[in-house]
Structure 1
């Protein structure tokens, strides 16, 4: 991508206006030519594609329509969409891409996201806007030179396997989600975006500044090179000598208006309903607790021996608190594949213990939870989430015995089958039991009661579940019931971590701000939970480890809150697009 002109570093404040308005270069001329393509054949500066949208699939809000219009026609197709969390930046991009498709300016589109959001983007763009993209996690993905409309994790795109191919193409449109991930100019992510060639670009982030004003400079400079001059000039002009206090705020905002759109919650008409969280912990039977302890001991021994089986071992540890049915399926698979006699003996012993389980505590108590949920919201629909398919079928079977109307939603269903399940749930009511396949872009605002039968260790995934029902368009308060087994890793995660800093009340964006700071490059939040379980020799040590992790979370949350306050200061009074901007 052509870069802006170089800037003399020995510049005083009075020269700033000259620096921030560099003479028109080849890059500027190229941008002008590219912008004209938006009007070719469709000269109107109105969103022509709105009439093609299915009103049942997507409910557009005024600030979203305005953002899409400004990004396309006032910013010439290069914009930083920086709405606060929960205001629908994905919807804004969907509208932009739909309009570009209508105007035939989307021959090749690359959407880069964090790995966990790629499939959700794919689902939302198809379901709401009818836009088909291949995802790098799809079985039929053949590489970045084999498809024209691609959604991929940014880490996949920057990998040695794909980087050269990604950079070889000139893309019509680049979309970068969670743009704050490229704030550091010394990372491979930053280098990839800097070297990418494209005609139009839309960056998304609710937190343009994560640590310091340099974050904002780096993100904007990738999108609009030269807008702020050099990094030194930017700092000299907008911060005091100690680099702590923002100065010349009005000039900063004037420049930002050329590239950034930021809507705030309190300036929209959206009235988000309250969410109510209830956690119910149940004491397992002696047989269940013996099984849990035997399985945990097996996992710890295997963890110490092998670095290559961590994912399988972590899955076993999650399954044991979900249901014996989920654990049995994985144990059987391991026995089919395992040739080592010692480990086979251990697994067969665990398998025999599963057979002795006569009472499944969670299943017995699920009916109580469902009744309690319905006491809060009479005649309501209820969604029950589990991570594992065998658990799903066990729940369905138990609820059927109680004469509930049930619906099963899981990844093994085709797109049309999934639609039929959702339609039946909407029309018939009852209880929908779902795996986390439901996370992928489904909006179920007609339901407002959820039960987490088992809980992912990553609070982001929990929030994505809740986000299916607690989002724009929900008219009622939302009730979430969490189930946990006492004296297990599940209880530690819920009580020591999630409730410790009230993570259940936070949004995806807020959690992302906290977890991004906590996670290392090679270790996820779930990895950290698993390692603490594996390395603790006693229950007291495990409790201390989780207390320490909760302290880390509290510290990161405080930093995230300070960041929010700083962002508010930078963008206070930010003009959202008046005619004289």
Structure 2
């Protein structure tokens, strides 16, 4: 039986439209369908053809022609147009994403264009901080949905940005992700039976990887599910395959056809770490030895920085930052403390040279680091240690175990705080006062970053008291907040009506979150000992879409005391270097070539150990650019013409949608009062009826108006983007307007409704005496061929001209529309039963031609192209397999021959065979085009 997506079938006495199918090993199918006859209309079902034996595809030869009596043949035009728009495409160009609500820039298209070149669209988007990776993910998902490969989507993101990511996908692309944070999970528990898998119920979800990692029930659910696309945001958090996150990510990568990974810091300098990410995308890209080159990984990633973007319109969406260094002269009390700390450090270094352990040195550095955050943070650490040591039965002679040392630290730190000698806080307070800031409603907002929770608590207490702040004018954000708390705090700070004037952030807020909507001031209260972390912090307000000049403040500790100032210079040098990189290279990680914030901290500690103020000017580590070249960006679009040319009967999209709803109304398929086109402003108001509400059950509740309220849909991107900005003015609101295009779930429903208005075994007949040669009939057909994966790979709309005896011409639908001016006004003529019968009598010859000539030629041409790809892929597989086995043999030659080592070798060989076999079979199924084409008769034009 020949079944394909887009085909109509009959089973159990009802009619359905196939939306997706999977081929079983025995040749039967698992098919996803949507009901189109009255009893099952709009509902989704899944059938197994090995069980449901009465499934019958509609045979095109049995098509009965009915006269289109609509004025101007509107129904036929709409029916053809809607079929074209609803059909899947097989293309390596951008077909629909450019209609999304964003300012299209070609660099943002590159990840999708590059992924579409691969057998399975998979990509690592490694663009720099603030360049718009979320938009690029939306483009990718939208294009896969248009290809019928994006029905089931799961996004994994940091818990702090679940809501932010969800809104971006909905507001800009109308992709409805159901958020499964702790509140979302609690909600679905009340809606679904206890044993119901939420990932089967909801096709598109967004969830934190930690929720999946820590929830055994959810882990069980995902093991039973399969996705078309999985997105893993901030994927560097899953690069370690030995971690729970990494293990889960590796598992999920095998549960989906397409995969998107995003990270501004996609590697940590270790080849195996980056290899883990690439292996998730394509397991055969890198030999099992892990020995690879840039050529091996280049097809699977894009990496650009702000300086790489040449488009002036895009660059205008970035502002030039202003760096403000607030010199903070240390108080005598602080100098006294640092002298004591430095003296301990010098003693520890002397002992180190005599062969003693490094623990005393690291203790002195730990206290220094805590103090550089705030005296209270250092005191907090010291007092915690005093409490611990006091409870020990025996202690060592290490500084950290010496109550004398600890209590002297405690005395000196208390002295600073008791005398109000905290110079850094004084300088911050002084600057805010100079700016006439008082924390009132109209004052500027500030983001203040600090590493230590104790520092954040201290700042909250001090600022509240000194500026007489109300409780809701200052807020703290840290990793200890729950997922819902984190999202609410970030969302609130990004709203125009937020009362928060200062957001105190730990480095849990330095990744991914948007803090720039109503804020252009950021204070680094302490300086992280990593350029990567510093870059991430600054990128929260210095990013794409910032409308004002971002002011980034550094509180720079200063003293002329010789035995203290070197360490202060070393820390301050990090801020200078980050700014240099920002203006030139674009990637802070390329300075130390460590690509890992923890490793960079260690490097900074080495500089403090050696008193080396020039440590950032040296490159002593492995230069990762030989593999992941940060100087050769991948910003260029990979084709001069990245857009798929649309075929349409209408002058523009607005005309199509207007006629669509008018036709549905005239056929009594929607109520007259359920929609209205605002002609002045060019948008559609659409009432959410009970029927529509039940159909859209799996949309996020926040995105869907209540029953009786209105969707507002517009083609005007600027209006949608203004609505997005306006939604940020008031807490708890989503954008009033959404983009009006074919992928919006509500529009998709009404387009399907129009298709279903023509019964499955019927097609429309159009008589036009003035345009066509006398005696000719022109059959409008849709031919579709799927591969063995159930994916449509040929979707061809064409027209066959027939003169009563033979085929006279075959035309692409676009040529047919243009040649006979079908996009112009048409006049309805009367059609007799005799004429309809003659049109049907000619149909067998037309269908034979369509199958044996038109579609056969398309299949043969595509087979040649795909066989070349398959041959190339098979050669690559053989090389990968041979290299991997060779490296494995070499490795085990150096390993002792034991039962354990033999078993390990056997398992690794089996893994190589499995990967190679699976990849080979996938390619064979993908290029298999031996099925007969499915032909759909849509209409016939005749004279």
Instruction: State the TM-score, normalized to the length of structure 1.
Output: 0.64
Superposed CA deviations along residues 421-480 of structure 1, whole A, max 9, x for unmatched, are 452674236333322232242212211111211111112212212211111111111111
Q: CA deviation at 1:507?
A: 9.0
Change in CA separation of 1:64 and 1:194 when aligned onto 2, cut-off 3 Å: closer
Change in CA separation of 1:93 and 1:311 when aligned onto 2, cut-off 3 Å: farther
Q: Contact 2:591–2:616 at 8 Å: present in 1 too?
A: no
Q: Does 1:317 align with 2:363?
A: no
* Separation of aligned partners in 1, 2:520 and 2:613: 31
| Higher strand content, 1 or 2 | 2
Alignment of 1:31-430 (within 5 A): 43-44=87-88, 61=104, 63=106, 66=109, 70=113, 77-80=120-123, 85=128, 86-94=130-138, 96-97=140-141, 105=150, 125-126=165-166, 128-129=168-169, 130=179, 131-135=205-209, 140=214, 148=222, 153-157=237-241, 166=250, 170-172=254-256, 173-177=258-262, 187-189=271-273, 192=276, 196=280, 215-220=293-298, 223=300, 265-267=309-311, 269-270=313-314, 271=316, 272-298=318-344, 304=352, 314-338=365-389, 339=392, 340=395, 342=397, 343-357=402-416, 358=419, 359-372=421-434, 379-400=443-464, 401-404=466-469, 406-411=473-478, 412-422=480-490, 423=492, 426-427=496-497, 428=499, 430=501
* Separation of aligned partners in 1, 2:484 and 2:294: 43
SS for the counterpart of 1:335 is helix
2:16 aligned residue: none
Q: CA deviation at 1:118?
A: 6.5
* Separation of aligned partners in 1, 2:338 and 2:268: 43
Aligned residues: 472
Alignment RMSD (CA, Å): 5.3
Change in CA separation of 1:508 and 1:176 when aligned onto 2, cut-off 3 Å: farther
1:496 aligned residue: 573
* Separation of aligned partners in 1, 2:580 and 2:539: 13
Equivalent of residue 547 in structure 2, options 469, 475, 485: 475
SS for the counterpart of 2:448 is strand
Moved more, 413-422 or 398-407: 413-422
1:532 aligned residue: 607
SS for the counterpart of 1:347 is helix
Change in CA separation of 1:171 and 1:311 when aligned onto 2, cut-off 3 Å: farther
* Separation of aligned partners in 1, 2:462 and 2:616: 36
Q: Contact 1:64–1:88 at 8 Å: present in 2 too?
A: no
**Please, which runs of 5 or more residues in structure 1 have no aligned partner?**
1-29, 31-36, 112-116, 202-213, 224-258, 537-541
1:229 aligned residue: none
Equivalent of residue 616 in structure 2, options 528, 539, 550: 550
Superposed CA deviations along residues 134-187 of structure 1, whole A, max 9, x for unmatched, are 436987266996574766635421679976993697230433446996799x94
Q: Contact 1:298–1:346 at 8 Å: present in 2 too?
A: no
Q: CA deviation at 1:73?
A: 6.3
Q: Contact 1:136–1:153 at 8 Å: present in 2 too?
A: no
Q: Does 1:577 align with 2:642?
A: yes
SS for the counterpart of 2:382 is helix
Superposed CA deviations along residues 355-386 of structure 1, whole A, max 9, x for unmatched, are 222121111121222244569xx942222222
Q: Contact 1:280–1:481 at 8 Å: present in 2 too?
A: yes
Change in CA separation of 1:159 and 1:62 when aligned onto 2, cut-off 3 Å: same
* Separation of aligned partners in 2, 1:395 and 1:98: 44
Change in CA separation of 1:279 and 1:152 when aligned onto 2, cut-off 3 Å: closer
Q: Contact 1:81–1:260 at 8 Å: present in 2 too?
A: yes
SS for the counterpart of 1:575 is coil
**Please, which runs of 5 or more residues in structure 2 have no aligned partner?**
1-22, 24-29, 35-85, 170-178, 180-204, 223-229, 286-291, 560-564, 646-943
Q: CA deviation at 1:523?
A: 7.0
Q: Contact 2:111–2:140 at 8 Å: present in 1 too?
A: yes
Q: Contact 2:585–2:631 at 8 Å: present in 1 too?
A: no
* Separation of aligned partners in 1, 2:486 and 2:252: 38
SS for the counterpart of 1:133 is strand
Equivalent of residue 582 in structure 2, options 488, 502, 505: 505
* Separation of aligned partners in 2, 1:161 and 1:394: 33
| Higher helix content, 1 or 2 | 1
Q: Contact 1:501–1:550 at 8 Å: present in 2 too?
A: no
- Higher RCO, 1 vs 2 (CA within 8 Å, ≥6 residues apart): 2
Superposed CA deviations along residues 279-307 of structure 1, whole A, max 9, x for unmatched, are 12222122111212323444676785656
Q: CA deviation at 1:276?
A: 0.5
1:452 aligned residue: 524
SS for the counterpart of 1:510 is coil
Q: CA deviation at 1:67?
A: 5.3
* Separation of aligned partners in 1, 2:264 and 2:579: 26
